[in-house]
Amino acid sequence: MANTYPPISDYALLSDCHSGVLVSRDGSIDWCAFHRFEARPVFGRLLDWERGGFFRIAPVDKYEATRKYVPNTNVLETRFETATGVITLTDGLAVRVEEGHPDHRIIRRVQCESGELEVKARFEPRFDYGLTQPRVELVDDDLAMAYGGPDALILQTELPIDTAEISACDAARTLTEGDDALVALTWCLPQELDPERLPRERILGELEGTIGFWQAWTERCGYKGPYRDAVLRSGLVLKGLTNAPTGAIVAAATTSLPEEIGGERNWDYRYSWLRDSALTVNALFMLGYTEEAHDYMTWLKRTTAGSAKELQIMYGAGGERFLPEIELEHLDGYRSSRPVRVGNAAVEQFQLDVYGEMLDAAWHYRRHGGEIDDVFWEFLCRVGEAVLEQWEQPDSGIWEIRGDVRHFVSSKVMAWVALDRLLRLAEADDRDGDVNGWREACHAIRKAVDDEGVDPETHAFRQYFGDDGRADAANLLIPIVGFVDFDDPRASATAELVAKELGADGLVRRYVTDGMDGVDGDEGAFLICSFWLVECLARGGEEDRARELFERLLSNCNDLGLLSEEVDPASGELLGNFPQAFSHLGLIQAAIALDMPEGLTQEALE
């Protein structure tokens, strides 16, 4: 069974800025959650090959498949070549260009380029993570509907339906050169189910409008450097993982893709982490996407409102705070990697660093023209109060350790970042606040890190106070956030320690997984850590080494330019949830760092 699953790198992302769809190289939709990324999927074969459900269109005969995105879009083209002919399958999630909710429609267009060949579609929906086998009811040979539970689907196809089962149907047609067949799959609530045919011209217009939407969006990208293709694709991933009505950006489109094949490090990433916030805001501004950055900050301000002490590390795309973790025991998991989890228990952890990410995002927002109004300033001051009260406590850290809490050095540094950014904001806008208290705490945190956070033998930053000099890739952030300069000997020593102890052919692991994190098993190299190392080297004066490493890292992208969370250093296989916003944010930041004139800081460049 495990060998049946395609590699994670075989998948492509489709998005309408509401929903997430993954399409395999074989033309199979193996993951699809309509209307919200964290919604229950209607196709979920990615997590259980037998029970999950799928929707595949491909030639009947043996074929060779190649694929690409329509230039500067999230619309996929897969080319199937057989012994008798060639077809192109174009897949897109229809984007509603005008105001209002999208139509929740996948459009699949099959065009025969040459010869003659038979094309077959298999429609096998499964709702509620495979728990529900819905009824598939045939209306006509070009129209079917599926219903049962909280979802309903309408299938309209120019590939005639030839066989129908209780919970699936097949459609097939022989195409010759010049033939063009449209298939549209629309999601709706079951009480709104009304299987009417859409005019062909409307479906084609929606597909063309979707291509136009993405191409118009990419034209606004301000990055003109040597890595434009990779940066632009990363930007398209971030936009694709955006929930348009709220402005939130989720960490990934999937849940429970494993960090180790067959292991238990399988988490739900379909939520928005505050940890990503500063990187996200800065990246969007640097690429010229001011509107998206403002939308994200509006979501952040609205979502985090209330008690600053109740600030969570993550929220739902709609601002939800209740995200209980559940294990779905009925699912096999990707390549038998169990458990499959929905929700994320890390939401209950105390992670000191989130205060720093929140304030850093606010500072980037302010520097790029955003307004810190009185209400938001008052909230940020209360965040500062929480830091003053809590910075001396141990926490679960940036990596969401499920073992014992500790005094992580990176957490202390991010507590310093929170107060440092408050001081900057107060000065920039001549604001009142506990300036003396913030400044005194900044000095106290710095002294604690200097005294207890540096290993006397390696002169590198420790993972946590009192350890034996353990390497932690999170400490690459220490110069990036401005706690020390990039040429500080401790920053250089940390980069070298991380590269030596955690590196493998340029790929960087987060830390040594020896049981310290409370989870069994191992994990791959963490891609954003590798990009942090590039940034540290580039801004620390080692541009040639940084550029060579960056270009090696780009080779880990799949053929479409997409990255997951991790890479297996031995095999090069992508691991973890896919595609991963954190990895693509790291790529963007590293590319920008490589483009900076020598001696010029990012802040000065902006």
CATH of the domain at 126: 2.70.98.50
**CA nearest neighbour of 442 among 408, 483, 491, 383:** 483
Whether residue 203 is found in the same domain as residue 238: no
Amino acid at 532: W
Q: What is the pLDDT of residues 139-177, one digit of tens each?
A: 999 999 999 999 999 999 999 999 889 999 999 999 999
Query: Which one of 161, 186, 217 terminates a domain?
Result: 217
**CA nearest neighbour of 537 among 589, 580, 604:** 589
Whether residue 195 is found in the same domain as residue 237: no
The residue length of the chain stands at: 606
Whether residue 312 is found in the same domain as residue 442: yes
Whether residue 163 is found in the same domain as residue 278: no
Q: What is the pLDDT of residues 62-120, one digit of tens each?
A: 999 999 999 999 999 999 999 999 999 999 999 987 766 778 999 999 999 999 999 99
Token representation of residue 596: 């900076």
User: Do 176 and 110 meet the contact criterion of CB atoms below 8 Å apart?
Assistant: no
Q: What is the pLDDT of residues 245-257, one digit of tens each?
A: 999 999 999 999 9
- pLDDT range class, residue 519, cuts 50, 70, 90: confident
Query: Which one of 217, 248, 272 terminates a domain?
Result: 217
**CA nearest neighbour of 463 among 526, 525, 392, 513:** 513
- CB burial of residue 199 (10 Å; 0-12, 13-18, 19+): exposed
> What is the reported pLDDT for 89?
98
Whether residue 161 is found in the same domain as residue 234: no
Whether residue 442 is found in the same domain as residue 488: yes
Whether residue 500 is found in the same domain as residue 357: yes
Question: What is the DSSP track for 246-281?
Answer: T--B-SBS-B---SSTTSS---B--SEEGGGHHHHH
> What is the reported pLDDT for 3?
73
- pLDDT range class, residue 514, cuts 50, 70, 90: confident
**CA nearest neighbour of 414 among 451, 442, 377:** 442
Which residue segment(s) compose the domain that 183 sits in? 2-217
Cα separation values, 190 from 53, 106, 194, 313, Å? 19, 18, 9, 35
Q: What is the pLDDT of residues 414-447, one digit of tens each?
A: 999 999 999 999 999 999 999 999 999 999 999 9
User: Do 467 and 456 meet the contact criterion of CB atoms below 8 Å apart?
Assistant: no
| Ramachandran bin of 255, using left for φ above 0, alpha for ψ from -120 to 50, beta for the remaining angles | beta
> What is the reported pLDDT for 309?
87
- pLDDT range class, residue 1, cuts 50, 70, 90: low
Query: Which one of 217, 235, 255 terminates a domain?
Result: 217
Q: What is the pLDDT of residues 546-588, one digit of tens each?
A: 999 999 999 999 999 999 999 999 999 999 999 999 999 999 9
Q: What is the pLDDT of residues 2-42, one digit of tens each?
A: 679 999 999 999 999 999 999 999 999 999 999 899 999 99
CATH of the domain at 427: 1.50.10.10
Whether residue 205 is found in the same domain as residue 254: no
Counted domains in the chain: 2
Whether residue 331 is found in the same domain as residue 193: no
Whether residue 400 is found in the same domain as residue 507: yes
Whether residue 255 is found in the same domain as residue 129: no
> What is the reported pLDDT for 529?
97
Give the integer Cα–Cα distance in Å for 347 and 498. Answer: 28
Cα separation values, 318 from 147, 240, 254, 266, Å? 26, 16, 17, 23
Whether residue 500 is found in the same domain as residue 373: yes
